[in-house]
Structure 1
Amino acid sequence: MLWNRPYHRLILNGLLASFLATSAIPSIVFAQSSTRPVTRPVESDTQQMKMDRAETQQVPGASGDKDSQPDGLVPSGGVELYRRMGAALPPAPAEKPYNGPVDEAYGAYQRGLFVTALDKALTRAGEGDAAAQTLVAEMMTKGQGVKRDAKTAAFWYQKGAAGGDPAAMFQYAMLLMAGRDMPRDKKQADDYMRKAAEAGNSSAQFNWAQILVSDNPGERGLRLALPYYEKAAVQGVADAQYAVAQLYVALKDLPAAKKAEARSWLERAAKAGFDTAQLDMGVWLVNGVGGNQDYDKGFEWMRVAALRGNVVAQNKLSHLYIDALGTRPNPVEAAKWYVLSRRAGLQDAALEDFYLGINEETQKKAIDAANKFRRGAILVAPQPGQSLQ
C-alpha cells in the first residue's frame, strides 16, 4: 500500500559530505569554493515565491526567451490551455478491466470517507490484515475519522510491520529510531528499515542507505549504500538522486556508463526542487563537472537556488554577476545577493571589497532590492559603506 504523505528524511550524513569534500570533484572557481552545504530541501508542498520577491524563476531547458517560465518547475499550463480551446481532443483510452480484490477500506479512505474507512479497516485489522493495520495506524496518526492517538497508532504500525507491510515497517522503524511512544531500539529499527527497503519502499531505501553510511565510515559505507540510493532515486526520491549524482562522480572504479549519468541524476534532483542540487547544478555547469561547461545554464540554476533561499547560491550568484558569467555584469544585482548572503552570516572578503568599492547610490539600490526580496521584513538598512549586519 502506498501512502500519500511526505517521507521522513534523515539529513544527508556528515560522513557523506566530508568524503565528497575530499574527493576528486573539482571545486568551483568562486569564493567559498570549499563549502559543500547540505541544506534542508524544499518540500514539494512549499508555497511558491510571490512575485514581489522575484520576477521569474529561470530553469535550464526552458524554450525561447530566458525570462520564459520553465517546464517542470513553475506550472505554465495556461498558454497550452488557451491554444487548445475549441480543439477536439482524442478520446480517452479505454480502461483495462480489473478483476483483482477490491480494498473497500482504502477506497473509502481515498474518497475522504474516513469514518467508513476506519470501520472497515478495523474489522480487517483485527483479523490480522497487515495493510488494514497500517491504514488504521495512519488514520490514528493523522486524526482522520478518530481522535489522534499516537500510542495506539504505534501499536498498529507494529502489527502491520510484523505482518510484512512495507509502509508499516518503515513507519515503525522511524518510531523505534526516535524512541517515540516506545523505547528506542536501534537494532530493531535497523532491521525493519532494511526489510522495508528490500521490500521496495523508496523512503526506507533512502534511509537505509543513510544508516549504512553512518555505520560504515569511509568509502566502504558509501559503496554499500549506493545500490539503495540508486533504487530510491529511480522511484523519484530527490535526496537519493542527489546522492547518486555525487557518488557517481566521487567514487573510483565505477562503470563509465554510470559516471556519464551523474549530471542527469543531479538535474532530476534539481528539477524536483532540492535547492542544494540546484546549487550544485550551477556549480557543475560553470566548472564543467560531469559534462561540458555551460555558463548560461549554470547561471540560471544558480539563480533558481538563490531565489529558493540557498545562502551559498546567493553568494556565488553575486560572483557570476561581477564576472559576467552567463549574464551581463550588474553591480546592483551583485551587491544585492551579497547583502543577502552576508546578512545570513556567509563571509566573503572578495565580495566585501567589491561592495565597499561601488558608489553609495549603487549600494543603496542593492540594499533596497535585498529588503524587497525579504518580502517587507522589518529591516534597518545600513548607510552606504557601513556594516551589513
Structure 2
Amino acid sequence: MRLRSRLLITAPVILSCLAGGQEGVQPALAQGTERAVTRPVPSGADPLRKVPADGADATKDKGAADATGAPDGASSNASDDPYPSSGVTLYQRMGSDLPAVPPEKAYHGPIDEAYGAYQRGRYMTALDKALPRAEAGDAAAQTLVAEMMTRGLGIVHDAKGAAFWYGEAAKRGDPAAMFQYALLLMEGRNVPRDKAKADDYMRRAAEAGNASAQFNWGQILVADNPGEKGLKLALPFYEKSAEQGVADAQYAVSQLYEGVKDIAPEKKAKAREWLLRAAKAGYDTAQLDAGIWFVNGVGGPRDYEQGFEWLRIAATRGNVVAQNKLAHLYIYALGTRPNPVEAAKWYVLSRRAGLADPVLEDFYLGINEDQQKQAIDAANRFRRG
C-alpha cells in the first residue's frame, strides 16, 4: 500500500553538519502532506569562483533598496516550471507512434478489495470493506482507515481517530503506519509526545523499507550524533531512500559523497549524478547547487552552459541565491551572452528579497537610467507572473 507521506526538510541539518555547525541542530518538524518547494538556503552560500565575491548578507541599506525600486520586505514569487514535458509532441512531429506499453506482470497474490476501491475513488465502499478488517486487527486495513480519516475521504475528517488507527497498525508492524505514527509522536499531535518511542518506530519503519522513514531516520541520526559519525551512520539510510526516488535523500547523498572524508572513490564519482537526480525532481536547492557545481567544476568538469541553465531554472522558480548568481553570469557572459538588463533584473529581484550584494549594486548603479527602468519593469512582470 502506497499512501501519501510527509518528509522532513534536508538542507538545514545536512549542510550545518558538513560545515561543522552541528551543535544544537535538531531535525526539522514534519511538513504537511504537500512538501514545500523552496528550501531555506544557508547564509554564505558557496559563491561562484569565476566572478568577484558577492559579499551577500541579509542587511539592507536604504539607498540600495531605493535604487532597485523595492520597498523593505518586498519579495518575489516563483513562476511556473519553465520546462513542461514535450515528449509526445516530439513523437507526433516525427510522424511516429508511441512505443507500445509493456504488458503488466501477472499478479497472483491476494486482492485487497478495500484498497482497490480506495484507488478508484470509491471511498465509501473502501471504508465499508476496510473498517471490519481494521476492527479485527488487520494492519493494512487499519492504515487505510487512518489515511481516510486523516484526509476526510469517505468519512468526516477525524485526526484523533486517525492517530488511534495509525497506532494500532504501527503496533502490528505496518511500515507506512509506523512512519506516520512516529511523526505524530515526534510532534505530540493527538498523542502524547514521546521522542524515544517516535525514534523506535521511525527506525523500524526505515529498516522495513519505507522510503520516507529511511530519509527521516537518517536525519535523526545526523542530529543525534555530532560530526562525521552521524553522517556515516545516516548514509546507508539516505542511499536506500534515494534509490526509491526521494529527492531529499538524493540531495543528501550528493552532499555526503562530495563532502565527507573517506568516501569510496566510486561513490564520490557519483555525487553529481545524485545531485542532478534531485535537481530534475524539482528540488530547488539541488538546482542551485547543480548550477554552482557545473560553473566551479565540482564533482566533474566545468560546464558553464549547464551551470547557467540550472541557475536559470532555480532562479525562475524563486530561489533567491540562484537569482543573485544568475545576475553575475549575465554580467560576465558565463554560459550565456552578456545582458545588462537581465543581470539587473535578477539583481533587483534578489535585492528585494533581502540579499544584498555590493558588487551587483555597483554594477546596477553603473548602467544607464533606461536600462535600470527596463530591469525594474522586467522584475515587476516576473513578480506578477
With structure 1 as the length reference, what TM-score do the two structures score? 0.83
1:76 equivalent among 71, 86, 93 = 86
- The residue correspondences of 1:359-378 to structure 2 (distance < 5 A) are 359-375=368-384
Task: State the Cα distance separating 1:203 from its structure 2 match.
Answer: 0.4
Instruction: Call closer, same or farther: CA 1:93–1:294 in 2, change over 3 Å.
Output: closer
Task: State the Cα distance separating 1:93 from its structure 2 match.
Answer: 4.5
1:135 counterpart = 2:129: no
Which residue of structure 1 aligns with residue 74 of structure 2? Answer: none
Instruction: Call closer, same or farther: CA 1:317–1:127 in 2, change over 3 Å.
Output: same
1:99 equivalent among 100, 108, 127 = 108
Task: Tell me if structure 1 keeps the 8 A contact 2:79–2:318.
Answer: no
Helix, strand or coil for the counterpart of 1:374?
helix
Ranges in structure 1 where 5+ consecutive residues have no aligned partner: 36-46, 51-55, 58-72, 377-389
Task: State the Cα distance separating 1:291 from its structure 2 match.
Answer: 0.3
Task: Tell me if structure 2 keeps the 8 A contact 1:166–1:196.
Answer: yes
2:279 equivalent among 258, 263, 270 = 270
1:341 equivalent among 344, 350, 353 = 350
Q: Percentage identity across aligned positions?
A: 67
Which residue of structure 2 aligns with residue 28 of structure 1? Answer: 48
Task: Tell me if structure 1 keeps the 8 A contact 2:78–2:316.
Answer: no
Q: Distance in 2 between matches of 1:216 and 1:201?
A: 22
CA RMSD between the two structures: 2.2
Q: Distance in 2 between matches of 1:34 and 1:218?
A: 27
Q: Distance in 1 between matches of 2:323 and 2:131?
A: 52
Ranges in structure 2 where 5+ consecutive residues have no aligned partner: 22-44, 58-76
Which residue of structure 2 aligns with residue 242 of structure 1? Answer: 251
Task: State the Cα distance separating 1:90 from its structure 2 match.
Answer: 6.2
With structure 2 as the length reference, what TM-score do the two structures score? 0.84
2:296 equivalent among 287, 299, 305 = 287
Aligned length: 341
Task: State the Cα distance separating 1:216 from its structure 2 match.
Answer: 0.8
2:170 equivalent among 158, 161, 179 = 161
Q: Distance in 2 between matches of 1:88 and 1:318?
A: 43
2:126 equivalent among 108, 111, 117 = 117
Structure showing greater relative contact order (alpha-carbon pairs closer than 8 Å, 6 or more residues apart): 2
Deviations 1:41-74 (Å, cap 9, x if unpaired)?
A: xxxxxx9945xxxxx93xxxxxxxxxxxxxxx52
Q: Distance in 2 between matches of 1:289 and 1:300?
A: 16
Task: State the Cα distance separating 1:91 from its structure 2 match.
Answer: 5.6
Task: State the Cα distance separating 1:22 from its structure 2 match.
Answer: 5.6
Instruction: Call closer, same or farther: CA 1:91–1:352 in 2, change over 3 Å.
Output: closer
Q: Distance in 2 between matches of 1:293 and 1:215?
A: 36
Instruction: Call closer, same or farther: CA 1:232–1:91 in 2, change over 3 Å.
Output: closer
The letter of the residue matching 2:264 is P
Instruction: Call closer, same or farther: CA 1:78–1:97 in 2, change over 3 Å.
Output: closer
The letter of the residue matching 1:349 is P
Q: Distance in 2 between matches of 1:92 and 1:362?
A: 53
Instruction: Call closer, same or farther: CA 1:205–1:334 in 2, change over 3 Å.
Output: same
Task: State the Cα distance separating 1:2 from its structure 2 match.
Answer: 1.3
Task: Tell me if structure 2 keeps the 8 A contact 1:212–1:225.
Answer: yes
Deviations 1:70-112 (Å, cap 9, x if unpaired)?
A: xxx5211342352366x56666554443221010000010111
Task: Tell me if structure 2 keeps the 8 A contact 1:13–1:214.
Answer: no
Deviations 1:286-332 (Å, cap 9, x if unpaired)?
A: 00000000001100111000001000000000000011100111000
2:264 equivalent among 255, 265, 269 = 255
Task: Tell me if structure 2 keeps the 8 A contact 1:302–1:313.
Answer: yes
Instruction: Call closer, same or farther: CA 1:92–1:323 in 2, change over 3 Å.
Output: closer
Q: Distance in 1 between matches of 2:55 and 2:124?
A: 55
